Amino acid sequence: MTALADILIRRIASTGPINIADYMHECLLHPEHGYYSTRDPFGTHGDFTTAPEISQMFGELLGLSIAQAWIDQGSPTLFTLAELGPGRGTLMADMLRACAKVPGFVDACTVCLVEASDTLRAVQRETLAGHDVQFSTDVQSLPDGPLFLIANEFFDALPVRQFTRHENGWQEHQVGIQNNALALGLSAPAPITALNHRLGDTVPGDIVEICAAGTGIIATISDRIAGSGGAAIIIDYGDWRSKGDTLQAVKSHAFCGPLDFPGQSDLTAHVDFEALALAASATQTTPLTPQGVLLERLGITHRAQALAKSLGGTALQDHIAAHRRLTHPDEMGTLFKAIALFARGCPPPPGFVA
Ligand code: SAH
């Protein structure tokens, strides 16, 4: 049993079952035993690999999209370039390197990383050595002024609540105890106002999820962009409207049960992009765009060909495989999707349509 399982069992024994959001939060961010608090989980030796870790092209192209959005808004001379959940800091490093060629951009920006894990902050500091970087734990404390923001695989790490529809309302999924081990259970059915909009597209037995943390963060970003200018690009796996149980646990590149290794496996849930778009009511949002389409529109094939010229042998094979992995429909190309938020009256960032 993991140390965190022990702590959770004692807590549940004294105060009763906890919901899935509380369980996810403890597993990912418990200060001593949380998954992100205790490790750098990325890469082939870790638990999973993310797009920026697959190829530098990902960050370069997204950086240039953000830079063009900045130019389209008159190149404001002071702005915040923010990233939510930067992992190893690779995406931001690749963005800044590509954007160094855009006159004025790097000098005008204050780089702000929203990161909860001290362990990963240390890794990000190292990756971004040579850049002035500010850290915060929430989007409310980002500096005032225009905000250009990126988030890759951040929203899927935020805690979700899960509910099963019942004749008499909804039953919330809970983590309780059975035979001195963590076990899933259901609350008594009750009406849930926040799920009234799901009464039309569900029947008893269907499972839906709510990510209150995600919609709260998006509403803050949307208000900021509407008030001070800027744009945000959100990339993640998920769909326009999530339905069903999407909670998943991954350890060493293999799936495991969400209760099997609390604090030692990565827990994620699909992002419900419709819910994010509805929360971004102060700004415009683009249609949901598959990652492969977005990267193709941003010119990944040209960039891949240019980089290939200086490569040979296994490095070239790896580079070709990375291009395919990021864009192909059988790989990350359609599983991962993106939306952008942008101020009314401005064009969307390149790669997106309005
Ligand atoms: N964007 C990175 C890493 C994605 S993993 C990449 O693409 O490689 C999720 C990241 O979000 C990690 O850095 C994790 O520590 C951070 N994180 C998770 N929950 C968070 C929260 N509530 N607030 C701030 N950061 C969080």
> Could you give all domains of the chain from N- to C-terminal order, each with its CATH number?
35-159+210-256+263-300+333-342 (3.40.50.150)
Task: Report CA-CA distances (Å) from 187 to 162, 165, 173, 176, 267.
Answer: 11, 11, 7, 10, 22
C-alpha 156 – ligand 1 centre gap (Å): 9
351: amino acid identity, one letter: G
Torsion over CA of 231, 246, 163 and 155, rounded to 10 degrees? -20
pLDDT at 242: 84
Q: Which of 135, 131, 132 is nearest to 115 (CA)?
A: 135
**Cα 84 to averaged position of ligand 1 atoms, centre (Å):** 7
Q: What are phi and psi of 343, to 5 degrees?
A: -65, 145
Average per-residue pLDDT for the chain: 96
3-state SS, residue 50? coil
Q: Provide the pLDDT confidence category of residue 1 given band limits of 50, 70 and 90.
A: confident
Average pLDDT, integer, range 75-103:
97
Pocket test for ligand 1, best of 22, 36, 234 (most atoms within 8 A of CB): 36
Q: Please indicate whether residue 36, judged by its CB atom, sits closer than 6 Å to ligand 1.
A: yes
Q: Output the six-digit token pair for 158.
A: 């935020």
For ligand 1, say whether the CB of 52 is within 6 Å of any of its atoms.
Answer: yes
Decide if 341 contacts 232 (C-beta within 8 A).
yes
Ligand 1: distance of its center to the CA of 304 in Å? 27
For the segment 46-65, what is each residue's pLDDT rounded down to a tens digit? 888 999 999 999 999 999 99
Cα–Cα distance for residue pair 265/251, rounded to 1 Å: 5
Give the mean model confidence (pLDDT) for residues 78-105: 98
Q: What is the pLDDT of residue 47?
A: 84
Assign 41 to helix, strand or coil: coil
Side-chain-side CA neighbours of residue 216 (13 Å): 10
Closest alpha carbon to 293 in 320, 332, 349, 254: 332
- pLDDT of 78 over the 80 cut: yes
CA dihedral 263, 117, 153, 99 (to 10 degrees): -160
pLDDT in tens, 250-302: 998 899 999 999 999 999 999 999 999 999 999 999 999 999 999 999 999 99
C-alpha angle with apex 207: 204 to 210, nearest 5 degrees? Answer: 130
Angstrom distance (rounded) from CA 206 to CA 165: 5
Give me 354's structure tokens. 């309005």
Q: Which amino acid is at 22?
A: D
Task: Give the number of other Cβ atoms within 10 Å of residue 244's Cβ.
Answer: 11
Q: How far is the CA of 137 from the centre of ligand 1 (A)?
A: 11
List Cβ neighbours of 340 (8 Å cut-off, separation of 6 or more): 231, 232, 233, 234, 285, 286, 348, 349, 351, 352
Nearest to 274 by CA among 247, 314, 234, 304: 234
Q: Which of 39-43, 168-172, 254-258 has the least mean pLDDT?
A: 39-43
| Residue found under tokens 């797009």 | 51
For ligand 1, whether the C-beta of 79 sits within 6 Å is no
Render pLDDT for 209-218 as a digit per residue (tens, 0 to 9). Answer: 999 999 999 9
Nearest CA to ligand 1 atom 6: 87
Using CA positions, which residue lies closest to atom 11 of ligand 1?
85
- Residue whose CA is closest, atom 20 of ligand 1? 116
Q: Is 91 in the pocket of ligand 1 (CB under 6 A)?
A: yes
User: How far, in Å, CA of 289 to CA of 286, rounded?
Assistant: 8
Overall residue count recorded for the chain in this entry: 354
Of the candidates 144, 91, 81, the one whose C-alpha atom is nearest the C-alpha of residue 120 is 91
Q: CA-CA distances (angstroms) from residue 253 to 43, 214, 259, 290, 297?
A: 9, 25, 17, 23, 30
Distances (CA, A) of 290 to 310, 331, 336, 339: 29, 12, 6, 9
Q: Where are the alpha helices (DSSP H) in the chain?
A: 3-15, 20-29, 35-38, 51-54, 56-72, 90-99, 105-108, 118-127, 212-228, 273-279, 291-297, 300-308, 313-327
Pocket of ligand 1 contains residue 83 by CB under 6 Å:
no
pLDDT digits (tens, 9 = 90+) for 289-339: 999 999 999 999 999 999 999 999 999 999 999 999 999 999 999 999 999
